[in-house]
Structure 1
Amino acid sequence: MKEHYYTIGEVAKLSNLSVQTLRYYDQIDLFKPAHIDTHTNYRYYKDNQIFYLDIIKSLKYIGISLEDIKRALGLTSEELLVFLEQQEQRIEQKIARLNEVKYTLLKTKKQMQEQIDIPIFGDVYVQVEEEMPILQVTTTELTPTSSTNTYYATLTKIIEREGSVLNSRYGCIFPLARYTDVHSIIYDAIFTPLLTERTFSKLSPNIKQTIKPAGKYVCIAFIYHPDTYFSYYEKLRVYVEAQQEAYESIVYELYMPASFTFEYEKKFIVELKVRQKINCVKNLV
């Protein structure tokens, strides 16, 4: 049976590829014509070559580089199977990463919505909250007037080392008690909320991955200033002590930017939270 030849235009239509693409594939020795007319320089392709274009398109669709496709076309069937299994694993990793990115986006949107939905600044309010995974570092000398940058940088390095996403928020933990002034409040830990569900490995003894538990919280929010911080804390403490419900003796302090626009003097919202007793904080590790 006489072999049928196709012009480059006909192959372009059959394969839904442009003539320019086919010429480029020829230049890089990925898909060459079976015959080139020396007088007209026209390219001609055989029937059985179209099959290879389908393979090229399939591999390119899943993100394989043209160089790797070129190498794959020279493999035996057994070698090609191994190659495809490797690509499958790579795609699964990409899917997992994209799912993590999607989860991070949803968590970030939720946090921003919660910030927008703060009922009123300077007054106590009650809200039900979901559990919040956090990464925290122990501290023993910091107060609400201290700089927490060094501790926050420690958490940042761990999160970035694991290839995770950094939160724009950070917080502190200290005991609920009667203090004399803002300087007598001593933090037990500095933390940052985690935007992913991954578990962090090889943490030093003073750093742990844990959870701010879900539940009913009594809260107060205000724009941070060292001169007014203590009065807002006292307002929350007095409210808690006046309630008949039992509350935990832990204060979660959460810092967040008041806005995401560029400002020379950045303002921060502080939200203090005390949880009604239900169950104990649970660790991830």
Structure 2
Amino acid sequence: MDTRFSIGEVSKLHNISIQTLRHYDKIGLLKPAYVNEKSKYRYYSVKHFIILDLIKQCKAMGLSLDEIKILVNNYTSINSILDIITKQKEIVEEKIKELDSIKNNICFLEDRIQTVLKEGINEPFIKYCTERKFIKYSNTHRYTEEFEINLSKTLGYIEKKYGSTNKELVFPTSYEDFKNQEKLTYNNLMISINESMDIDEKKVITLKSGNYITINFDDDYKDTSKYYRKLVEYIEKNNIIVSGSFYEIYIMTRCGIDKEEKALGQIQILIDENK
């Protein structure tokens, strides 16, 4: 008679918990060779060791227990094994792409937050920026329900068409209007794009490379006027000539348990180096 091994011995030999072996028995994946009717103790044979090795190998490939059960029941069919392994490889490759995308998003956000903390918050400074590209969308006035609906539709469209990308929202606003009237008007929205996004150049807005007067903030995004004031004061105090509009850029928006909304962002305006 074949040597029988108790469930405890199999557990130790194969580094598998007794609870797991009992579960395998319950779902019909690995039935014991013999069960003592009185004690209900489970006993296994050497042949079960081969099946356990196969189960471990399949789990290492990420197969579900149902898929492993199919393999175990058809272990003599190389074609069935190859079919399941091939499908699993495709699933793993898709997961790798998804995880790479998640990692890129994490690294992007981590870098942006670290950069802001290094640069400092609430005080103007001059920062050199390389050329940046955005898609421009016409939108209704900010802080309205219609604006939020249109923004959600726009972001949903971009995600569906281009996948998960690192997106920064940018709101241009007139320098002259704020300087002369302290008026902030948000009628347009720009969303950052990257090289992997195939977009008609006619729809792309490019922010030139150059030195930008910049202020970082972490505050209620509905209360940014004070940061614009600081920028205007900095510009006038240092007799700086600027070009174009202000750009209010959002890195991360969040809402706490107290329902208070805050956003990490920055406001920039290009210095006119030709004057």
TM-score by length of 2: 0.70
CA distance in 1, matches of 2:64, 2:131: 43
CA distance in 2, matches of 1:209, 1:184: 24
Report deviation, 1:233.
Answer: 5.9
The structure in which a higher percent of residues are helix is: 2
Q: Which residue of 1 aligns with 2:189?
A: 190
Q: Using a 3 Å threshold, how does the CA distance of structure 1 residues 26 and 124 change in structure 2: closer, same or farther? A: closer
CA distance in 2, matches of 1:38, 1:227: 80
Equivalent AA in structure 2 for residue 77 of structure 1: I
Q: Which residue of 2 aligns with 1:127?
A: 127
Secondary structure at 2:30 match in 1? coil
The answer to whether the aligner puts 1:68 opposite 2:67 as a matched pair is yes
Contact kept? 1:152, 1:191, Cα under 8 Å: no
CA distance in 2, matches of 1:269, 1:241: 28
Contact kept? 1:119, 1:125, Cα under 8 Å: no
Q: What number of residue pairs does the alignment pair up?
A: 265
Contact kept? 1:145, 1:226, Cα under 8 Å: no
CA distance in 2, matches of 1:58, 1:158: 41
Secondary structure at 2:115 match in 1? helix
Contact kept? 1:22, 1:31, Cα under 8 Å: yes
Equivalent AA in structure 1 for residue 267 of structure 2: L
Equivalent AA in structure 1 for residue 32 of structure 2: P
Report deviation, 1:262.
Answer: 4.7
Report deviation, 1:29.
Answer: 0.9
CA distance in 2, matches of 1:86, 1:255: 41
Q: Which residue of 1 aligns with 2:164?
A: 164
CA distance in 2, matches of 1:68, 1:210: 50
Secondary structure at 1:164 match in 2? coil
Specify every segment of 5 or more residues in structure 1 that has no aligned partner in the other structure, as ranges: 279-285
The answer to whether the aligner puts 1:79 opposite 2:80 as a matched pair is yes
The answer to whether the aligner puts 1:138 opposite 2:133 as a matched pair is no
Q: Using a 3 Å threshold, how does the CA distance of structure 1 residues 94 and 227 change in structure 2: closer, same or farther? A: closer
Report deviation, 1:151.
Answer: 3.8
Q: Using a 3 Å threshold, how does the CA distance of structure 1 residues 109 and 28 change in structure 2: closer, same or farther? A: same
Q: Which residue of 1 aligns with 2:213?
A: 218
Secondary structure at 1:9 match in 2? helix
TM-score by length of 1: 0.68
Larger mean Cα displacement after TM superposition, 223-232 or 44-53: 223-232
The answer to whether the aligner puts 1:46 opposite 2:53 as a matched pair is no
CA distance in 2, matches of 1:266, 1:72: 52
Report deviation, 1:217.
Answer: 2.4
Q: Which residue of 1 aligns with 2:110?
A: 109
Secondary structure at 1:127 match in 2? strand
The answer to whether the aligner puts 1:15 opposite 2:10 as a matched pair is no
Secondary structure at 2:73 match in 1? coil
Q: Which residue of 2 aligns with 1:89?
A: 90
Secondary structure at 1:73 match in 2? helix
Q: Which residue of 2 aligns with 1:274?
A: 269
Q: Alignment RMSD, CA only?
A: 4.4
CA distance in 2, matches of 1:272, 1:152: 20
CA distance in 2, matches of 1:138, 1:54: 57
Contact kept? 1:257, 1:266, Cα under 8 Å: no
Contact kept? 2:116, 2:216, Cα under 8 Å: no
Q: Using a 3 Å threshold, how does the CA distance of structure 1 residues 106 and 132 change in structure 2: closer, same or farther? A: farther
Residue deviations 1:221-255 (CA, integer Å, cap 9, x gap): 56664765764564476589845xxx763542224
Q: Using a 3 Å threshold, how does the CA distance of structure 1 residues 166 and 159 change in structure 2: closer, same or farther? A: farther
